[in-house]
């Protein structure tokens, strides 16, 4: 469900981009949280379906994983991760405070043609 919402957000961002011309070569760089319910594959599939319905062609997604901060409550060590973690990278403790940020955002739109 979130993947469809995110796909529509990408289409809205394309429509706001004044340089976007349908059928041109465009890469949309998006960031996706590894803690969310959307995988890069499901987002790409949802975007493909939404783009087809909106008759948008020539657009590819480049999905990068967001990093998020983690703090160990036991030792105070703070680190970042791009994947779900269950233990501290310093003391191996499992009392972690994981800061959930944004699940998704459009980082940039590259017009290549």
Helix, strand or coil, per DSSP, at residue 47: helix
pLDDT in tens, 57-99: 999 999 999 888 999 999 999 999 988 889 999 999 999 998 8
Q: Does residue 40 surpass a pLDDT of 70?
A: yes
| Sequence ranges of the domains in the chain | 2-111
DSSP string, 59-112: EEEEEEEPPEEEEETTT--EEEESS---S-TTT----EEE----SEEEEEEEE-
Distance CA 65, CA 45 (A): 17
Share of the chain above pLDDT 70, in %: 99
The pTM assigned to this predicted structure is: 0.82
- Domain covering 2-111 in this structure, CATH number: 3.30.2320.80
């Amino acid at each position: 469900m979130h993947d469809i919402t995110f796909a529509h957000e990408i289409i809205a961002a394309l429509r706001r981009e004044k340089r976007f011309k349908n059928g041109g070569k465009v890469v949309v760089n998006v960031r996706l949280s590894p803690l969310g319910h959307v995988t890069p594959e499901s987002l790409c599939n949802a975007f493909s379906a939404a783009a087809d319905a909106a008759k948008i062609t020539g657009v590819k997604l480049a999905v990068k994983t967001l990093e998020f901060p983690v703090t160990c409550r036991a030792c105070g060590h703070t680190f970042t991760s791009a994947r779900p973690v269950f233990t501290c990278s310093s003391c191996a403790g499992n009392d972690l405070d994981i800061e959930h940020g944004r699940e998704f955002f459009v980082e940039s739109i590259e017009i290549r043609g």
